[in-house]
Amino acid sequence: MPSCFAPLYELEGMSTRDEESGYASASSSDESIPDVFFTKPHLTFLNRQLQNLEPPDILRWCITTLPSLYQTTAFGLTGLATLDMLSKLKIPRPQVVDLVFLDTLHHFSETLSLVGRVRKQYPLVNVHVYKPNGVDTAEEFAQKYGEKLWETNDQLYDWVAKVEPAQRAYRELQVNAVLTGRRRSQGGKRGDMDVIEVDEAGLIKVNPLANWTFKQVQDYIKANNVPYNELLDRGYQSIGDWHSTQPIKDGEDERAGRWKGQQKTECGIHNPRSKYAIFLREQEMKKQEEALQLALRS
């Protein structure tokens, strides 16, 4: 008699053991196991649970739950605190979470110096460095895209310096989930974010220190002798590229020094991917229109 129930896995993708048990396991073929994903109710439930946990407990959950987990960082205080917490987790068979650093070629020299100190203090952690495609220096970047691209076309700058390298890193490293350094107290679009999010492409983003304030992070850094950016001692709090970062004044939000005088609050990698897909289509249409006008005039 034929079964009235549809199988959860195609039989040809299952091992003999899978067929006998009716379940897929770690020993099953790749085809029989779905990629990591969360339904909306599951995501809501997880955020409700994780919201009440301290950062080390959130990180412990991440390591035991999320495969192909990496940490994206520009070596700000929150990212450094996360890195140090990970190094101190007491779990069986500890897993090293590698770092993804987007070298825009326009970082402060103090930031690049910090990378070396981090490597020395945490030798087990690999730092995967991704630069804008096809260039290795700021001079080469200017030759390819023109002087001060961040002023002439800031969306294109975000794409070539940050978004495309990030997407390339996720693809080449086969990243399923990333830890970020975002916190609610940073304000802007981050003010009401969840601990765990999923972007349009299905990438899982976890914000383990979402509930912490800048002071809590700073106190942790000092108490645990974590290396940090020297610019923090000169009035900077949120540090990105040299051309879009300034010290802040007393009473200002910690990210007030980023893109001073602009409406911008995010660097690009945390904006919706569809925004850049639309932008790239518009750029291509503009180039085609310019080429057509040139052909008509010649």
What the block records as the tokens of 2 is 């034929």
**Looking at 59, 206, 231, 267, which residue is catalytic?**
267
267 is catalytic: yes
Q: Could you report the per-residue pLDDT of 72-129, keeping only the tens digit for each?
A: 999 999 999 999 999 999 887 767 999 999 999 999 999 999 999 999 999 999 999 9
Q: Could you report the per-residue pLDDT of 52-61, keeping only the tens digit for each?
A: 999 999 999 9
Predicted confidence at residue 27, as pLDDT, reads 54
- Looking at the domain assignment, is residue 100 inside a domain? yes
Backbone angles phi, psi at 23, to 5 degrees: -125, 155
- Looking at the domain assignment, is residue 269 inside a domain? yes
Q: Could you report the per-residue pLDDT of 175-189, keeping only the tens digit for each?
A: 999 999 999 888 677
Query: CATH number of the domain that 69 lies in?
Result: 3.40.50.620
Q: Could you report the per-residue pLDDT of 212-239, keeping only the tens digit for each?
A: 999 999 999 999 999 999 999 998 888 8
| pTM as predicted | 0.78
DSSP track, 240-283: -BGGGB----TTS-TTTTBSTTSS----STTS-HHHHHHHHHHH
Distance (Å, whole) CA 8 – CA 237: 50
Q: How many distinct structural domains can be found in the chain?
A: 1
Token pair 């080449």: residue: 172
CB distance 260 to 247 below 8 Å: no
- Looking at the domain assignment, is residue 26 inside a domain? no
- Looking at the domain assignment, is residue 295 inside a domain? no
Q: Which residues, other chains included, contact 85 with Cβ-Cβ below 8 Å and sequence gap of 6+?
A: 55, 56, 59, 208
DSSP strand pairing (177-179 vs 196-198): unpaired
- Looking at the domain assignment, is residue 223 inside a domain? yes
